[in-house]
Amino acid sequence: MSQRQITLTTDFGRQSPYAASMKGVILSLYPQVNLLDLSHDLPPQNLRHAAFYIRSAWPHFPEGTIHLLVVDPGVGTDRSLLMIEWRNQVILAPDNGVCSWLPGFEQAVARAIENPLCRRSSVSPTFHGRDILAPTAAHLAMGLAPEDVGPIVQPQHRLPWPQPVWTDGGVDAEIIFIDDFGNLITALDAAALQGHVPIEAKIGDLAAPWSATYGMAPPGSLVALFSSDGLVEVALVNGSAARQYGLEAGMKIRLRVSP
């Protein structure tokens, strides 16, 4: 049996026992599995932050990776738990839209997790990550066929991707993610700007001239540029734009462009 890799991404924090509990369940079933922590420090119950995090990270993993994702403000309700086959990887997550920003998600195949083998003998209504998703991950890693997990279903919940709004001379876009550097990443991608040359981004009275990279502007300068994922970003060189100016996800920027 070839060894499978399981990643874990949660909003549990590093001081709580919850991530360790899930690892214990997986290792009890399959001690040889390769477990990889991606993050347990996602903002609690923040689906959009989690959706962007996995959108940026997961496309770089090898085929066959099993991703276990628990950001689940609806735990204990009638929302489903899903096994999703996406780009030759497998995702285990609640059906709450958290995976819907993944590239190509529309073509992914989702199955409801219904096989009794994928449940512990006692299931807590407040910890499906430990009692259902973790054993499902272990059994898949040991060779359980995806079609044996449960029937194909359509995910019921999606997070809408904020669409840019074009006006004369520019485009308005929403800040959807703030990274640990305090950089402000928007939902506006390079493809949407085809045929236009970015000039300057504005957030209220703040102006950020366009730059190819951070190092081309002096420290303390606000710049606008394409992020490593090809999205328009506003950054404070050698500083935190979010902290310095009190900016948050959900705010809008206006990008001035020329034809």
Which 3 state secondary structure label does DSSP give 147? helix
Domain end residue (candidates: 94, 126, 153)? 153
Res 116: pLDDT? 96
Query: Does 9 share its domain with 86?
Result: yes
Q: Provide block-wise average pLDDT over 10 residues at a time, the chain (259 residues).
A: 83 97 98 97 97 98 97 90 97 97 97 97 96 98 97 96 92 97 97 94 96 95 97 98 97 94
Query: Does 11 share its domain with 86?
Result: yes
As a whole number of angstroms, the longest Cα–Cα distance in the chain is 63
Res 210: pLDDT? 97
Res 259: pLDDT? 80
18-54 pLDDT tens trace: 999 999 999 999 999 999 999 999 999 999 999 999 9
Element (H, E) at 208: strand 206-209
Which 3 state secondary structure label does DSSP give 142? coil
Q: What is the Cα–Cα distance from 223 to 236, expressed in whole angstroms?
A: 6
Query: Does 143 share its domain with 254?
Result: no
Query: Does 19 share its domain with 117?
Result: yes
Res 3: pLDDT? 65
Domain end residue (candidates: 153, 175, 209)? 153
Domain end residue (candidates: 153, 175, 202)? 153
205-233 pLDDT tens trace: 999 999 999 999 999 999 999 999 999 99
Query: Does 40 share its domain with 131?
Result: yes
